[in-house]
């Protein structure tokens, strides 16, 4: 694989996916732009019954910058896929913790840099695209990857969180890393961490494993999704070919800031000197922060709908039904009336950003003919977003988990799916803007069943959700003790023209998919809470 000739590595890797990459000339690494240390923010969420059953010692510890490993060497602990998963679950996992301190000690990049150094700095041997943002990261990643893959390239994708299988986070050309390779990667990273004398977090181990896997698989490019924020995220050790920030909205406010400019500043921490950065035209206060951050970092900011000519429209055709179409014009491309492959008017912006990034890659060595680019875009698939997972009655799942995303989901369902009545199964994390979430949910739901995911101790109490929803909407609602029970309640007395929507968190979506996997979709009908 060569940095200057991406196509050569792609064809070789595609024909021999297990071939180990020959390291190219090392690209000099750069660190994130120095930003004044943000005052520590702390999330405090009242413990719930489910939370008390969790491994409190694991969840409540805070990872220091450097810590001497005290457990048995990873080489003796990690001997299989199950032991690799067990090792990961013993790591500090900020995704599931009830209390998180957001500062440069807890979220330090020093652990990643030390650990990656012992692995041979695989991230420096990769061409990458770095994607941050509040909403739209996953869809933007999916569209970029699908277009590049259709053009013949071997594409690595690193995303989070996963829905059912932890290996969903690391994929090459849409194929998940296999179990034995996952175990071996985890063992290598754990061993490197011990040599570096650091105690890595759950996300840091997976991020390092992804970088190593992508180098081993000789990918031509890897599309890397930020986990949280940007400036202090574990992925922010790369120097990409392009940086992207999707829409910025209110989420993780107690960590990233209580205003949109504050949140934008954290996400702009991925900007790097000499690396083009792509954003969509934003509200003035947000755009001002992003422009200033790009200038400070030395990144060339390219604003879709200003610097890049872009337009979109919503239409209905016999072959595609209701959908959005986009046009994008640059010095090198004239892309007209391309159908957006994912449902929802809001997806047009994400599609525009994806097209702008691929257009830039064409100027730095990637051969992307417009016909292949177009077919790749049309082939984009994404689980957990407006995904129909059951028929007769229809059940749709969507991982929307902030007010803006829930509002977009309600509008999207209204535009794309005809129905008589919609029952929403809803559960969310307790650290979210719950009043805002419920207000948006109320716009589309005819009936709501509140439940909680057992997959995270951060789940909000369904009784609290019901009480607040009743106060704000006046609508009737129900409570289910579990996701399977909620599915049974929702599908018990629906007509063929009714709809069930499961939303509020990716954890809830994952629980739904796990339960439905035990049932026969071809049979359809009412979903039983207990699988016989």
Verify that 317 and 433 share a domain, yes or no. no
Q: Is residue 509 part of a domain?
A: yes
Q: Is residue 241 in some structural domain?
A: yes
Domain of 352 in residue numbering reads as 56-378
Distance CA 336, CA 328 (A): 6
Query: What is the distance between the alpha carbons of residues 419 and 223, in angstroms, rounded to a whole number?
Result: 37
422 and 348 both lie in a single domain: no
At residue 100, the pLDDT reads 64
Do 297 and 433 lie in one domain? The reply is no
511 domain residue, yes or no: yes
Residues β-bridged to residue 329? 309, 334
Whether 18 is in a domain gets the answer no
Q: Is there a single domain that holds both residue 344 and residue 395?
A: no
Q: Are residues 405 and 362 in the same domain?
A: no
168, 162 Cβ separation under 8 angstroms: yes
The residue from 378, 412, 427 where one domain ends is: 378
Do the domain assignments include residue 17?
A: no
Please report the sign of the dihedral spanned by the C-alpha atoms of residue 472, residue 412, residue 381, residue 354. Answer: negative
Burial 427-448, CB ≥16 within 10 A → b, else e: bbbbbbbbeebbbbbbebbebb
Is 30 domain-assigned? no
Number of domain units in the chain:
2
Give the CATH number, domain containing residue 333: 3.40.1190.10
CB contact set of 296 (below 8 Å; sequence gap of 6+): 33
CA-based angle 398:145:178, to the nearest 5? Answer: 80
If asked whether residues 296 and 354 sit together in one domain, one would say yes
Q: Does residue 314 share a domain with residue 171?
A: yes
Q: Residues 495-517: pLDDT tens digits?
A: 889 999 999 999 999 999 999 99
* 409 shares its domain with 319: no
CATH number at residue 392: 3.90.190.20
Length of the chain: 532
**Are residues 402 and 314 located together in one domain of the fold?**
no
Question: For the segment 43-52, what is each residue's pLDDT rounded down to a tens digit?
Answer: 333 343 343 3
Grouped pLDDT means (10 residues each) for the chain, 532 residues: 42 38 37 35 38 36 41 73 95 70 76 97 98 95 98 98 97 98 97 95 97 98 95 96 94 78 95 97 95 97 96 92 94 94 93 98 96 97 94 94 94 93 95 94 95 91 96 92 96 89 96 94 86 74
Tokens of 224: 């890397």
Paired sense of beta strands 41-42 and 101-102, if any: antiparallel
What is the DSSP code string of 467-502? HHHHHHH---EEE-SSHHHHHHHHHTT--TT-EEEE
| Residue where a domain terminates, one of 360, 378, 396 | 378
DSSP 125: G
Residue 38: what pLDDT? 35
* C-beta atoms surrounding 381 within 10 Å: 11
Does 331 share its domain with 426?
no
Q: Is residue 119 a part of any domain in this protein?
A: yes
Quick one: 329 and 277 in the same domain? yes
15 located within any domain: no
Does 168 lie in the same domain as 65? yes
């Amino acid at each position: 694989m060569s940095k200057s000739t991406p196509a050569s590595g792609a064809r070789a890797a595609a024909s021999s996916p297990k071939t180990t990459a020959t390291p190219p000339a090392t690209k000099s690494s750069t660190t994130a732009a120095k930003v004044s240390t943000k005052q520590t923010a702390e999330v405090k969420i009242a413990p719930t019954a489910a939370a008390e059953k969790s491994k409190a010692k694991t969840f409540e510890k805070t990872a220091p910058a450097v810590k001497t490993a005290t457990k048995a060497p990873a080489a003796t602990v990690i001997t299989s896929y199950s032991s690799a998963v067990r090792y990961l679950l013993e790591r500090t996992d900020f995704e599931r913790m009830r209390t998180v301190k957001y500062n440069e000690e807890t979220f330090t990049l020093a652990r990643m840099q030390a650990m990656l150094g012992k692995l041979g700095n695989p991230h420096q041997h990769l061409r990458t695209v770095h994607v941050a943002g509040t909403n739209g990261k996953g869809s933007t990643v999916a569209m970029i990857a699908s277009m590049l893959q259709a053009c013949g390239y071997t594409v690595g994708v690193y995303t989070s969180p996963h829905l059912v299988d932890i290996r969903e986070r690391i994929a090459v050309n849409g194929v998940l890393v296999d179990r034995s390779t996952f175990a071996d990667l985890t063992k290598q990273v754990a061993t490197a961490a011990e040599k570096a004398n650091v105690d890595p977090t759950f996300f840091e181990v997976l991020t390092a494993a992804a970088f190593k896997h992508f180098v081993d698989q000789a990918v031509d490019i890897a599309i890397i999704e930020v986990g949280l924020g940007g400036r202090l995220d574990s992925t922010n050790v790369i120097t990409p070919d392009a940086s992207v920030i999707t829409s910025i909205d209110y989420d993780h406010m107690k960590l990233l800031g209580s205003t949109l400019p504050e949140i934008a500043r954290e996400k702009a921490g991925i900007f790097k000197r000499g690396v083009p950065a792509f954003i969509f035209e934003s509200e003035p206060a947000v755009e001002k922060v992003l422009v200033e951050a790009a200038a400070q970092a030395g990144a060339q900011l390219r604003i879709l709908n200003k610097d890049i000519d872009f337009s979109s429209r919503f239409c209905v055709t016999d072959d595609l039904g209701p959908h959005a179409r986009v046009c994008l014009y640059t010095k090198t491309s004239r892309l007209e009336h391309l159908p957006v492959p994912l449902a929802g008017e809001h997806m047009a912006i994400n599609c525009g950003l994806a097209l702008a990034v691929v257009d830039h890659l064409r100027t730095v060595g990637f051969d992307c003919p417009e016909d292949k680019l177009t077919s790749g875009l049309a082939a984009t698939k994404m689980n957990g977003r407006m995904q129909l997972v059951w028929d007769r009655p229809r059940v749709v799942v969507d991982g929307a988990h902030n007010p803006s995303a829930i509002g977009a989901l309600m509008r999207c369902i209204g535009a794309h799916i005809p129905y008589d009545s919609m029952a929403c199964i809803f559960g969310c994390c307790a650290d979210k803007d719950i009043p805002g979430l419920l207000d948006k949910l109320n716009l589309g739901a005819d009936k709501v069943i509140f439940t909680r995911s057992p997959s995270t101790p951060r789940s909000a109490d369904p009784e609290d959700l019901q009480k607040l929803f009743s106060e704000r909407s006046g609508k009737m609602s129900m409570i289910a003790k579990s996701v399977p029970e909620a599915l049974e309640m929702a599908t018990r007395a629906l007509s063929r023209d009714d709809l069930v929507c499961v939303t509020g968190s990716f954890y809830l979506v994952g629980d739904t998919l796990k339960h439905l996997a035990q049932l026969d979709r071809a049979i359809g009908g009412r979903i039983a809470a207990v699988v016989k």
